[in-house]
A and B are shown apart, each in its own frame.
Chain A
Amino acid sequence: MHNNPILRISTKILFAPIILFGLYVQFHGDFGPGGGFQAGVIVASAFILYSLVFGIEAGKKLFPTNVNLILLALGGIVYGGVGIVSIILGDEFLAYNILGSSPQSGQHIGILLVEFGVGLTVSNVMIALFNAFASYDKVKEK
């Protein structure tokens, strides 16, 4: 697929809008359909599309594996961290009311952070799975 100009150019054009759409779905989830799970998958699909068209090595250069693995764990830590912070501030685990000046703004901050953690984990798990399957073959051939 590396030599097909239509695929290469359309991937280059589509890459940024897909990520932008993913971010829109991520942060507009409070007001419309969407949220961390869907946004994570959409962002991951942009990187997977890049790896499919330009090859797995180019994909790994764009998004290094060690960064991928760190972000994969960081999503869960962000989610759990919100719960721990709400305990430290003197409420129950994952009770967002205490995070802001008013209960409603606390809920807003909590939901935004929690959804961000979900999106981070889901997108990086998807990219890691694709990379694991796609690069498995090469090692086997050696």
Chain B
Amino acid sequence: MISELLINAFLVTIMLSIAIALIKTRTVIFTVILTSAYSLVAALMFITLDAVDVAFTEASVGAGISTILFLAAMAYLPKKEVESISSEFIPALSCIILGGILIWCSFDLPEIGQLTAPIHQHIAPEYIKGSKEDIGIPNIVTSVLASYRGYDTFGETIVVFTAGVAVLALLEKKNTTKKNKSQPKQKIKKNA
């Protein structure tokens, strides 16, 4: 119990220091790398909560591929962030108020792993039992993701597909308009 507390305190300290460094830095590449480091610590946090699948996703997507995509997109940004906010008082105040409300609400949450918590009463026992009997798969996360909640995962896949196609369409359009030099458009305007 005490070792768990120590590990959690250690991880939270690292997360906090990364967050403070993120506020302070004004160089875009440091921001991207610090965000990646933050995701990696978050993945460790998920492991301490025994959520291995989520940790895996966070490490591969949050710390891995999104960093590369940010770096690829970063090439079109100026190297330094422009300081636009003149006063830091109002953002800081709103953050403190929101954080205070969240901490205040967290006192009402049931303890982690408590069996009588509402989340463990609804359909979770059915899934835990059924995963072994109906589906025959030891990993309950996979059986919930792909079978019990197959519709949701289908929607998720379509969302990923749509997002990818949308980005491709946006970038492709700019490429072609630069090449064609928009001469045909002017002719149409004159006719109209």
Given A41-B61, A125-B163, A128-B168, A107 and B142 contact (CB-CB distance below 8 Å): no
Contact A104 to B139, CB < 8 A, known contacts A34-B56, A118-B157, A134-B72:
no
Confirm or deny: B9 has a beta carbon within 8 angstroms of a beta carbon on chain A: no
A32-B139 contact, Cβ under 8 Å, with A38-B57, A115-B146: yes
Assembly CA distance A38 to B28 (angstroms): 27
Contact with A along B153-179 (1 / 0, CB 8 A): 110111011011101100110110011
- Residues facing B in A29-74 (CB within 8 A) are 29-35, 37-38, 41-42, 44-45, 48, 52, 69, 72-73
Closest B residue to A30 by CB, please name it: B137
Q: Taking the complex as formed, is B73 at the interface, i.e. its CB lies under 8 A from any CB of chain A?
A: yes
> Among A69, A73, A94, A133, which residue has its beta carbon within 8 angstroms of that of B73?
A133
Question: Which of B68, B139, B163 lies in contact with A33, CB distance below 8 A?
Answer: B139
Q: Does A108 contact B (CB under 8 A)?
A: yes
Q: How far is the CA of A132 from the CA of B163 in the complex (A)?
A: 13
CB-CB under 8 A from A41, the residues of chain B are: 60-61, 64-65
Contact A96 B178 (CB under 8 A): no
Say whether B49 faces chain A, with CB atoms less than 8 Å apart: no
- Is A33 touching B134 in the complex (CB atoms < 8 A)? no
Residues of A within 8 A of B178 (CB): 139-140, 142
- In the complex, what distance in Å separates the CA atom of A104 from the CA atom of B75? 50
- Determine whether the beta carbon of B157 is less than 8 Å from that of A75: yes
| B143 proximal to A (CB < 8 A) | yes
A111 & B147 in contact (Cβ 8 Å cutoff): yes
CB distance from B100 to the nearest CB of A (A): 35
**CB neighbours of B65 from chain A (8 A):** 41, 44-45, 48, 126
A35–B158 alpha-carbon span in the complex (Å):
17
Q: Which residue of B lies closest to A104 (CB)?
A: B136
User: What residues of B have a CB within 8 angstroms of the CB of A139 in the complex?
Assistant: 175, 178-179
Q: Given the complex of chains A and B, what is the CA–CA distance between A86 and B136 in angstroms? A: 19
List 4 A-B pairs, minimum CB-CB distance, nearest first: A125-B164, A133-B72, A104-B136, A33-B52
